[in-house]
Amino acid sequence: MDYTIDAKFDDSRKCWAVAITGEVDIFNAQDMKKSLTELINDKNTDMVIDCKLLDYIDSTALGALVGVLKNVRSYGGTMYLRGVKPSLAKLFHITKLDKVFEIEGETGE
């Protein structure tokens, strides 16, 4: 399975609202990173990523998200992950990335 990104700039909140669906792994993680980085380079602001339809990520995808986070922070912004499934939340916890990302509203609780 592949992934899709649906991104819109939320004018009222002045942030990128992004939904990632599917699976992100070694085969497409750099493509995802490039897409998200292009958004941030277009408008330097916060990014809210809706993960409720994100089924799987691997370590390469985690690294790509960290790279995007660094870019967001370089502009003084924050990256929020919302709707993270318990299985993915566990991965963030094990890797201690739950201390790095702003994770809100895990689903399935």
Within a domain: 69:
yes
Domain tally for the chain? Answer: 1
Give the predicted TM-score (pTM) of the model.
0.91
Q: Mean of the pLDDT values across residues 65-87?
A: 95
Is the per-residue pLDDT at 57 higher than 80?
Answer: yes
Instruction: Output the pLDDT for position 108.
Output: 45
Q: Is residue 44 pLDDT above 70, yes or no?
A: yes
Residue 49: CATH number of its domain: 3.30.750.24
Other beta carbons within 10 Å of 102? 13
Residue 26 lies in a domain: yes
Question: Would residue 30 count as lying in a domain?
Answer: yes
> What is the rounded (10 degree) CA torsion for 5, 97, 47, 55?
20
Q: Structural domain of residue 76, as residue ranges?
A: 3-104
What is d(CA 109, CA 13) in angstroms, rounded to the nearest whole number? 27
Residue 67 included in any domain: yes
Any domain includes 109: no
pLDDT band at 107 (very low <50, low <70, confident <90, very high): low
Q: Which helix (H) or strand (E) holds 8?
A: strand 3-10
